[in-house]
């Protein structure tokens, strides 16, 4: 069930009505409803994988209880590693087995040994990387005595499988979400309206911007040898906006939907394309995953302590693992490696926490220095996204090589302009300009149009909302609908 599907437009109001009008003022009943709704939501993808989600939930639930009641550290450690190994084992089998088998066979072929290998002909369970990390953070926190195990299974199961975040995050922590699940929730009109506004903006980002950019990004990447260098740059830019609006659009819808039920989820994006260096970018991009790797991998490895060599080693480890988390392909590993290289100057010169404030604080426009820093960071990010989008390392390198070839020839730019006027048109560039302007003006907020009520009078505000709705419906009916990119992770 997609957030941008007709079925979800029926599902959400029904659950909302039952939640506030049938199970009103009884959070136990509300939690039971949320759990049933979440399992139904997940089963709509493939009911067979619902049993995998339930097994993972039961495993971590009982492991947590056993760790809490363990009479020795050895027994506690046993239950901890049992949960970690089984969870990562499922992830490895479904997501990484074929990659490792193929890589091993290729390594042997380089030595002159040719072997055939057995592959798994299964689809990847949607959201497995996300709900696995929910469970892992829970058992790790129990093991480290940061939290106590949850005794109520329904409460814990809702924490793992709450439907707004189930298939693509944000990756929640028990310390943040469980206390909200375990208390009475009273309907808050302001919170609900804010949620609807964020859902609207998320749908605009996904349906209007991301899906429109995807059409041309796919066309260019799938036929890259047929296009000029400047046109390939356009393709990389289209994918850059596609992946941001697709994933942050999902997060906006997830956070907005949760607010309708009186629950606040972790923020996942903070206008990353306005970053002045790569360190700032990673504090603003997929925040729940970046902080997860910081807390559960980088810091346990020693973090920034222990000298420069260990600091560099730990940085490369978390970025490469982050790349590998995204998918079983060398392109994702290269994407992580590139970002590790990008951030090295900040790590080596201890400037990784220089840009903690909002860019152009108190000003409408950035300074020339800020603009150049933002432009450089954005350009490096665009190049890294090429590896993320490419199907193979060879395609990525060839794409970059072709992208920079012929940049000094007038005819190449003429071809790019012809592509814009003949293929793209001028509606999408105007929408992108509108989108980036709205994001820039709203960069101090949780999402771009959060405080629109303070900017416009009521008639203008409602005209803006209706305008967004009409644009969304127009593009939704254009046949460009695509699945959210992060569903594959």
Contact 412, 310 (CB under 8 A): no
Report the C-alpha gap between 442 and 465 in whole angstroms: 16
Pairwise CA distance, residues 287 & 285, whole Å: 5
- What token pair was written down for 318? 């978390």
Query: Which of 176, 225, 326, 418 is labelled catalytic?
Result: 326
Q: Are 213 and 389 in contact (CB under 8 A)?
A: no
> CB neighbours of 440 closer than 8 A, spacing ≥ 6?
274
Residue entry with tokens 């859902």: 199
Q: Which of 44, 195, 208, 204 lies closest to 127, judged by CA? A: 44
Cα separation, 338 vs 382, in Å, equals 11
For the chain, the C-alpha Rg in angstroms (whole number) is 23
Alpha-carbon distance of 39 to 47, in angstroms, equals 9
- Rounded Cα gap, residues 307 and 321, in angstroms: 21
- Active-site residue, 326 included: yes
Cβ atoms of residues 343 and 278 within 8 Å: yes
Supply 354's token pair: 């220089």
Closest CA to 138 of 63, 77, 72: 63
Active site residues: 326
């Amino acid at each position: 069930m997609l957030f941008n599907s007709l079925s979800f437009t029926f599902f959400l109001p029904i659950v909302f009505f039952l939640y506030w009008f049938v199970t009103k003022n009884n959070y136990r009943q509300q939690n039971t409803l949320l759990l049933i709704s979440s399992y139904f939501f997940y089963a709509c993808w493939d009911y067979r994988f619902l049993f995998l989600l339930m097994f993972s939930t039961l495993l971590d639930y009982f492991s947590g209880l056993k760790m809490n009641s363990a009479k020795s550290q050895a027994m506690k450690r046993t239950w901890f590693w049992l949960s970690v190994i089984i969870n990562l084992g499922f992830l490895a089998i479904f997501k990484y087995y074929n990659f490792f088998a193929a890589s091993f066979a290729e390594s042997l072929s380089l030595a002159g040994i040719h072997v055939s290998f057995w592959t798994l002909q299964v689809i990847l369970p949607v959201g497995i990387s996300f709900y696995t990390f929910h469970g892992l953070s829970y058992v790790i926190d129990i093991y480290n005595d940061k939290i106590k195990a949850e005794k109520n299974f329904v409460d814990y199961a809702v924490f793992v499988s709450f439907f707004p975040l189930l298939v693509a995050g944000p990756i929640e922590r028990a310390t943040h979400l469980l206390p909200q699940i375990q208390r009475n929730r009273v309907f808050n009109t302001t919170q609900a309206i804010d949620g609807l506004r964020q859902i609207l903006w998320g749908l605009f980002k996904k349906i209007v911007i991301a899906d429109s950019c995807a059409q041309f990004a796919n066309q260019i990447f799938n036929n890259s040898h047929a296009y000029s260098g400047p046109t390939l740059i356009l393709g990389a830019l289209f994918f850059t906006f596609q992946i941001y609006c697709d994933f942050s659009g999902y997060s906006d819808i997830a956070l907005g939907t949760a607010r309708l039920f009186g629950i606040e989820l972790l923020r996942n994006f903070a206008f990353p394309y306005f970053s002045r260096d790569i360190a700032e970018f990673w504090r603003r991009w997929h925040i729940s995953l970046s902080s997860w790797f910081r807390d559960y991998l980088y810091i346990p490895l020693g973090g920034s302590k222990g000298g420069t060599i260990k600091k560099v080693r730990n940085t490369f480890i978390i970025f490469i693992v982050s790349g590998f988390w995204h998918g079983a392909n060398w392109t994702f590993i290269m994407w992580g490696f590139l970002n590790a290289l990008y951030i090295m100057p900040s790590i080596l010169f201890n400037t990784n926490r220089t840009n903690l404030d909002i860019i152009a604080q108190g000003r409408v426009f950035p300074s020339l220095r800020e603009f150049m820093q933002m432009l450089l960071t954005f350009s490096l990010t665009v190049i890294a996204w090429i590896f993320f989008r490419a199907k193979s390392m060879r395609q990525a390198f060839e794409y970059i090589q072709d992208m920079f070839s012929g940049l000094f020839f007038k005819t190449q730019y003429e071809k790019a302009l012809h592509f814009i006027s003949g293929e793209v048109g001028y509606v999408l560039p105007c929408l992108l300009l509108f989108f980036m302007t709205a994001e820039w003006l709203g960069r101090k907020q949780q999402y771009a149009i959060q405080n629109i009520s303070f900017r416009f009078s009521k008639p203008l505000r409602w005209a803006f909302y209706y305008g967004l709705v009409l644009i969304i419906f127009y593009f939704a009916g254009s046949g460009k609908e695509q699945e959210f990119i992060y569903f594959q992770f």
